[in-house]
Amino acid sequence: MKVPLHSPNPERPELSREIRRLERDVLRMGALVEQSFRLSHQALFTRNLTVAEELPTLDQQIDSFYRQIESDCAAIMTQLSPTSQDLRCLSAFMQLVRDLERIGDYAEDLTEIAIKIFPYPPHPSLPEIADMSHHAQAMLATSLVALADLDDVGGRYIKQLDDAVDNAYDRLYQTLAHQKDVPGVIEPILLLVLAIRCLERMADHATNIGQRVAYIVTGQRH
């Protein structure tokens, strides 16, 4: 069952309406970030560079949502006298959209890596890196479901999922950093190291989103 963001207050309908609208905007922004992540995955792992053309427009939409949501949160704080519970929600939203915006930026970085690495033969580690990407995408999706449902248990659970991405990062870094007898230039190795770093950071931001959902619901930071 969806937990209300704040206790219903018939005397404050405008405040309730504005916070509900903000939540919808955050979820719309999250959907754009999910799409951006999926496209960057296609560009890097299926070598489909045509999808890269969609990323700049998506990133502009994500950034626009980010600026608008921050501005709206600040306006509500200063103009509508929110309660302490409302302030908790607004504060979490402002932090949460920053996490979403950063994931969108990393998706753009992955797409640039896909373009640069395209001329080189596929590296043997690509399937394992693709698995890491799928896992990070699942974490983002889970965090957004937790937000939509205001599920603090689901939000906190994402931190456990992050261990798999961290372990994959450590394992892949060791493989790439200690690869011997690399023929020709080492650029593709460096690009893949950058790629796994992007994915590790994306998973961290998805974890942050889950933690912020738990804070909205419980008022406790974990």
134-182 pLDDT, tens digit per residue, is: 999 999 999 999 999 999 999 999 999 999 999 999 999 999 998 877 7
Give the CATH number for residue 185: 1.20.58.220
User: At which residue do the structure tokens 């950071």 appear?
Assistant: 201
Would residue 210 count as lying in a domain? yes
In a domain, 162, yes or no: yes
Domain assignment of residue 7, yes or no: no
Range of the domain at 54: 13-218
Q: Distance between CA atoms of 183 and 16, rounded to whole angstroms?
A: 62
Residue 5 maps to a domain: no
Whether pLDDT at 64 is above 80: yes
The answer to the question of residue 3 being in a domain is no
User: CA-to-CA distance for 41 and 125, rounded, in angstroms?
Assistant: 15
Question: Does residue 133 sit within a domain?
Answer: yes
**How much is the mean pLDDT over the chain?**
91
pLDDT (tens digit per residue) in 188-204 = 999 999 999 999 999 99
pLDDT for the residue numbered 100: 98
Model-level pTM? 0.92
Cα separation, 169 vs 136, in Å, equals: 11
Q: How confident is the model over 86-128, as pLDDT tens digits?
A: 899 999 999 999 999 999 999 999 999 999 999 999 999 999 9
Residue closest to 26 by CA, chosen among 125, 111, 88, 101:
101
Looking at residue 124, its pLDDT comes to 93
In a domain, 1, yes or no: no
Count of structural domains within the chain = 1
Whether residue 6 lies inside any domain: the answer is no
134 closest CA partner among 41, 55, 3: 41
The pLDDT value given to residue 47: 94
With 0-12 / 13-18 / 19 or more C-beta atoms within 10 angstroms meaning exposed / middle / buried, residue 135 is: middle
Q: Check residue 66 and give its pLDDT.
A: 97
Confidence of residue 9 (pLDDT cuts 50, 70, 90): low
Asked if 158 and 142 touch (Cβ cutoff 8 Å), the reply is yes
